């Protein structure tokens, strides 16, 4: 099935394109049927408006909060900057420590109990302590998010670094590879799929971490907005906010997937083909005379 | 990859920490309370709309936080200048050694109470015997106990279940009869009533006189923060006064400042109607601390287990700011409100 | 977790290091004590500094009590008054039950997704949607469906722990050595054999990493649900003490929450060790020695 020349590769991408559209169409149809049923059930009085607000009401809310009042933009920006900042900080910390601990048994011995204790503690309970230590405001919220999304990358990186394929390691050693070469050409490439998997988890964890932080410090952000709406039983607007988060989360997830295809390309046939293509072109250029 | 991350990080850091350009004399007052800017505490919104806080050189930094956080601790360590506390929290804090003073009563009519469905089968406290009563949170058990004690029953005569603060859960519980009544506070039923669930309060009269949501401040800071506190409380009192003479303009201000509570016209109006009487002081001086009331409520708080020891009110009630807080020109405030109404038609 | 990357030192080949089980008991205990000593020393140092800091008013916050006060609260909670046991068991069971349900569904769906490409395509969007919808926002609906008791906490625990397990298991199952797969096929292995003997063992390390994350996440789900609405549980207890400004007891309860997390984590690590035994050299040797014995028995007498 692997394409062997440029022509059929383009052909297969075109095919993929139409297949993708077909799939999206199916998803869309399922979605609209679901919404239709929901609206119908709500109008018939079968669904409790307290818990399942009517889709038309939710749509109206979307209009209100995005256009007419436009009050969601500020909160959206607040939440997203928290998520982004917290996620980056948390994963950088997680990957760095994961690699450090993976390579260094002594550090691991001393760090391990504290990391485990920290992970075992639900962060929502630690929030007051964090606020006492870091004060009100973004810092403590970001700290909560970091705590939440640090562990997945850490554990997965550690797992990836430690579970090196030992036969290949011996091969590298027998070819007299330096430590850096081992790291760059063996450990990291093998570990990257696992690390990426950890990153994906971390990002979605960051979103819910941000929400937990905003439920506790409710000055701004989508979390605080949801609280106001549920307190006033404005469930349509509350759902509009929740769906906003869901859509955001979904977009983030898809974004991560694209990143995954780009970075850990060898997992995907399409990626392998693409990169081989590129490399072949390059080699043709350098080895070709004239 | 790392560079891009670095750029993103610094961009976010810079934009999220941009300080508001402030003019020379501005002081920030950090206030910790359960709600963000809201109809429930409209004096803040009104005061800000008419510029009263700015006139005093004050910028209010609201720190709305979940009640699982011990507010008092943040007055202690200076991260908050003012905290909204209720009597339970105040007495418990004092018993735990906190050095706080209650300087202003925000809501003088007890927002705590026991609510039942309007026109339902339960009409008095006695009707609740043998039923399941919902509590908004663990802490409301003490109030329920006091209410039962006062009417000659005991907490063991009912079953209790903690429902949580979430609106829909409370609404469904009382509407569907899963609980006979709810023991909670104004925060809880204002929302329910605004959404059309008619409630009656069956709180025993003896328990109605209780100050709730009082401003507490670190005792050691009373003199140091006098200027800022007097200014803050004066602006707050002015906001309260506007609602006493011109509630219509309060409505418009709220609609602009907190659109999320006014998306449905009717529920916004209902909410405001519910909280207006709570926010308006019954004492001659707005926000005055009522020593007698505080003395009277403590015995039943003791017997219901809400507090461990009774505290002498003279040790923490402090009306040192009240005179200054009430020192404003009422006619001018009325004029300001009218002018605002005209220009914001 | 594996001890270290094998150094591949040719000198060690052929030498059989003494297995732990062969050492005399006293030596084992002594060994254990030696290993624990540095940790103990570090811990005691931290506690001492903390106690002194509070005693000398360096830390004045009400939120941070003295370690001795926390110790007193622990004694009171566990021994004198024993208030904590009921709540401990409630939260513990909520987490475990939620995890079991979430894990069962997650692994089941992951296996189906790994085997059937189109199934995966349809499951993943909904799994993602469920994951990104914040748990806290789901609590009113969950409470409406599952009631005011343990049901809603178990449900939230299951929902929140579902995704990490699902993702890790799926990644593990789709990430296998293609050369080995060819080898299996060339030896005439059936699809089932390929799955059971190649893909499953290859996936196990990641699966267990996922289970470890999932278990602690289940605890978080249970606690979040408790903070939203609960009558019993460690979360409620902690909240109660916090409100009464009894910070020592509140922190003691937080430590109990951590203890629950630790118990869960170490149980999972133990199971991980038993099942994914090939990661630790000593375990590998133990196992191969056991198998060698078994073979000898079958081949010999």
B176 at interface of C, judged by CB pairs closer than 8 A:
no
Q: How far apart are CA B282 and CA B287, in angstroms?
A: 8
Q: Residue C174 and residue A56: Cα distance in Å, rounded?
A: 41
Would the CB atoms of C245 and B96 count as touching at under 8 Å?
yes
Mean pLDDT of chain B: 87
Chain C residues in contact with B163 by the CB 8 A cut-off are: 148, 229
d(CA B1, CA B108) in angstroms, rounded, equals: 58
- Cα distance from C301 to chain A (closest Cα, Å)? 36
Q: Residue range A192-205: average pLDDT?
A: 79
**pLDDT (tens digit per residue) in B266-294:** 888 988 988 898 899 999 999 999 999 99
Q: At what angle do helices A105-120 and C247-275 cross, to 10 degrees?
A: 120
Q: Do B96 and C144 touch (CB under 8 A)?
A: no
Query: Looking at the predicted structure, is the pLDDT value of residue B18 above 80?
Result: no
What sections of A66-122 are H helices per DSSP? 72-103, 105-120
More confident residue, C122 or A268: C122
CB of A221 closer than 8 Å to CB of A72? no
Q: Count Cβ neighbours within 10 Å for each residue of C128-142 and write b for 16 or more, e otherwise.
A: bebbbbbbbbbbbbb
Question: Which has more confidence, C181 or B20?
Answer: C181
Select from B68, B77, B172 the Cβ nearest to the Cβ of C227.
B68
Domains of chain C (ranges; CATH) run 86-284 (1.10.3720.10)
In tens, the pLDDT along B93-110 reads: 998 888 999 999 999 876
* Band of pLDDT at residue B198, cut at 50, 70 and 90: confident
**How open is the CA angle A64-A69-A74, to the nearest 5 degrees?**
110
Residue C2 has what pLDDT?
40
Tokens of B296: 């009277």
Task: Please state, in angstroms and rounded to a whole number, the distance separating the CA atoms of residues A61 and A83.
Answer: 24
pLDDT value of residue B5: 57
Give the pLDDT confidence score for residue C203 in this predicted structure.
87
Distance CA C172, CA C107 (A): 11
State mean pLDDT over A73-84: 93
CA distance A217 to chain C (A): 14
The listed range with the strongest mean pLDDT (A26-35, A192-201, B186-195) is: A26-35
The per-residue pLDDT for C161 is: 92
| Entry pTM | 0.81
Q: Classify the C-alpha dihedral A223-A228-A230-A236 as positive or negative.
A: negative
C192 versus C232: the higher-pLDDT residue is: C232
Cβ separation B171–A84 shorter than 8 A: no
* Facing residue for A224 by CB, picked from B36, B167, B271: B36
pLDDT band at B3 (very low <50, low <70, confident <90, very high): low
End-to-end CA distance of chain A: 33
End-to-end CA distance of chain C: 39
Q: How far is residue A183's CA from residue A171's CA, in Å, rounded to a whole number?
A: 14
Among left, alpha and beta (phi > 0; psi -120 to 50; other), residue B307 is beta
Tens-digit pLDDT profile for residues C249-299: 988 999 999 999 889 988 998 888 888 777 666 777 888 888 888 888 888
Average pLDDT, chain A: 83
Q: Which of B68, B92, B169 sits opposite C245 (nearest CB)?
A: B92
Closest CA to A263 of B5, B3, C167, B1: B1
Give chain A's contact residues with B (Cβ, < 8 Å): 48, 50-51, 61, 64-65, 69, 71, 81, 84-85, 88-89, 92, 127-128, 131-132, 135-136, 138, 215-220, 224-225, 228-235, 237
Are C148 and B160 inside 8 Å of each other by CB? Answer: no
Q: Which of A50, A126, A139, A232 to mutate to test the interface with B (most CBs of B within 10 A)?
A: A232
Return the closest-CA partner of residue B65 out of C135, C137, A214. A214
Overall average pLDDT of the A209-230 stretch: 89
At A142 the pLDDT is 93
CB contact under 8 A, B74 and A132: yes
- Of residues C227 and C276, more confidence is placed in C227
Instruction: Answer whether residue C16 shows pLDDT above 90.
Output: no
Higher-confidence position of C164 and B135: B135
Q: How confident is residue A12, by pLDDT bands cut at 50, 70 and 90?
A: low
Residue A144 has pLDDT above 80, yes or no: yes
Comparing C-alpha atoms, which of B109, B88, B107, B103 is closest to residue B29?
Answer: B103
What confidence category does residue C195 fall into, taking pLDDT thresholds of 50, 70 and 90? confident
Measured distance CA(C250)–CA(C234) in Å, rounded: 10
């Amino acid at each position: 099935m692997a394409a062997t020349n440029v022509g059929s590769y383009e052909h297969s991408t075109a095919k993929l394109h139409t297949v993708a559209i077909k799939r999206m169409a199916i998803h869309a149809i399922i979605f609209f049927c679901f919404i239709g049923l929901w609206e119908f059930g709500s109008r018939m009085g079968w669904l409790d408006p307290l818990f399942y607000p009517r889709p038309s009401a939710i749509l109206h809310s979307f209009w209100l909060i995005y256009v007419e009042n436009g009050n969601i933009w500020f909160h959206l920006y607040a939440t997203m900057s928290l998520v982004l900042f917290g996620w980056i900080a948390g994963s950088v910390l997680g990957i760095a420590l994961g690699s450090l601990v993976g390579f260094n048994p002594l550090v691991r011995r001393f760090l391990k109990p504290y990391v485990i204790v920290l992970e075992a503690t639900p962060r929502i309970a630690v929030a007051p302590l964090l606020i006492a230590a870091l004060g009100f405001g973004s810092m403590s919220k970001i700290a909560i998010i970091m705590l939440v999304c640090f562990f997945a990358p850490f554990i997965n990186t550690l797992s990836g670094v430690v579970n090196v394929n030992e036969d290949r390691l011996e091969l590298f050693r027998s070819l007299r590879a330096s430590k850096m070469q081992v790291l760059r050409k063996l450990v990291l490439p093998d570990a990257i799929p696992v690390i990426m998997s950890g990153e994906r988890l971390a990002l979605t964890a960051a979103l819910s971490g941000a929400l937990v932080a905003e439920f506790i410090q409710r000055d701004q952000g989508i979390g605080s907005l949801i609280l106001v709406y549920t307190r006033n039983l404005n469930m349509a607007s509350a759902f509009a906010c929740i769906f906003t988060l869901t859509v955001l989360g979904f977009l983030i997830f898809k974004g991560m997937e694209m990143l995954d295809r780009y970075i850990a390309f060898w997992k995907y046939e399409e990626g392998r083909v693409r990169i081989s293509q590129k490399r072949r072109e390059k080699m043709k250029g350098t080895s070709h005379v004239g | 990859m790392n560079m891009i991350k670095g750029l993103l990080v610094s961009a976010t850091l810079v934009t999220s920490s941009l300080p508001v350009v402030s003019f020379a004399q501005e002081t920030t007052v950090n206030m910790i309370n359960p709600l963000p800017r809201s109809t429930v505490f409209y004096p803040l919104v009104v005061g800000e709309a008419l510029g009263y806080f700015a006139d005093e050189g004050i910028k209010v930094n609201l720190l709305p936080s979940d009640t699982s956080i011990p507010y008092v601790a943040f007055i202690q360590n200076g991260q908050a200048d003012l905290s909204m506390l209720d009597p339970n929290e105040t007495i418990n804090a004092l018993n735990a050694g906190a050095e706080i003073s209650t300087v202003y009563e925000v809501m003088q009519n007890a927002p705590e109470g026991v609510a039942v469905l309007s026109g339902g089968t339960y009409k008095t406290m006695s009707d609740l015997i043998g039923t399941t009563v919902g509590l908004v949170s663990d802490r409301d058990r003490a109030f329920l106990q006091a209410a039962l004690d006062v009417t000659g029953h005991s907490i063991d005569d009912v079953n209790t279940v903690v429902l949580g603060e979430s609106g829909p859960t409370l609404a469904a519980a009382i509407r569907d009869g899963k609980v006979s009544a709810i023991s909670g506070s104004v925060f809880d039923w204002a929302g329910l009533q605004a959404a059309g669930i008619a409630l009656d309060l069956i709180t025993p009269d003896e328990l109605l006189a209780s100050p709730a949501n009082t401003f507490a401040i670190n005792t050691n800071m009373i003199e140091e923060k006098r200027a800022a506190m007097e200014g803050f409380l004066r602006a707050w009192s002015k906001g309260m006064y506007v609602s006493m003479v011109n509630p219509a303009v309060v409505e418009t201000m709220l609609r602009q400042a907190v659109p999320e509570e006014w998306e449905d016209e009717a529920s916004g109006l209902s909410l405001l109607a519910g909280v207006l009487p709570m926010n308006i002081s019954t004492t001659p001086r707005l926000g005055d601390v009522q020593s007698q009331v505080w003395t009277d409520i403590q015995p039943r708080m003791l017997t219901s287990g809400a507090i461990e020891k009774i505290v002498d009110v003279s040790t923490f009630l402090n009306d040192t700011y009240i005179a200054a807080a009430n020192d404003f020109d009422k006619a001018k405030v009325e004029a300001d409100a009218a002018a605002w109404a005209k220009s914001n038609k | 977790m594996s001890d270290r990357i094998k150094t591949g030192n040719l000198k060690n080949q052929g030498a059989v290091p003494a297995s732990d089980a062969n050492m005399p008991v006293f030596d084992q205990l002594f060994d254990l004590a030696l290993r624990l000593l540095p940790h103990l020393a570090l811990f005691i140092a931290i506690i001492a500094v903390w106690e002194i800091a509070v005693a000398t008013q360096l830390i004045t916050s009400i939120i941070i009590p003295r370690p001795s006060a926390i110790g007193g609260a622990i004694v009171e909670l566990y021994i004198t008054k024993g208030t904590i046991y009921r709540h401990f068991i409630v939260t513990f069971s909520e987490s475990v039950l939620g995890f079991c349900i979430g894990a069962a569904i997650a692994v089941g769906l992951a296996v189906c997704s790994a085997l059937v490409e189109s199934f995966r395509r349809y499951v993943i969007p909904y799994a993602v949607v469920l994951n990104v919808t914040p748990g806290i926002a789901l609590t009113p609906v969950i409470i409406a469906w599952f009631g005011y008791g343990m049901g809603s906490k178990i449900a939230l625990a299951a929902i929140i722990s579902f995704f990490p397990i699902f993702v890790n298991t799926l990644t593990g199952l789709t990430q296998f050595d293609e050369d080995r797969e060819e080898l299996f096929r060339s030896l005439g292995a059936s699809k089932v054999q390929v799955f059971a003997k190649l893909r499953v063992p290859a996936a196990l390390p990641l699966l267990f990493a996922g289970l470890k994350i999932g278990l602690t996440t289940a605890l978080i789900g249970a606690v979040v649900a408790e903070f939203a609405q609960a009558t019993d549980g460690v979360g409620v207890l902690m909240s109660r003490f916090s409100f009464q400004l009894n910070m020592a007891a509140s922190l003691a309860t937080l430590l109990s929450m951590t203890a629950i997390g630790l118990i869960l984590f170490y149980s999972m690590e133990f199971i991980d060790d038993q099942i994914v035994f090939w990661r630790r050299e000593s375990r590998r040797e133990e196992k191969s020695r056991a198998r060698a014995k078994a073979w000898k028995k079958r081949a010999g007498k």
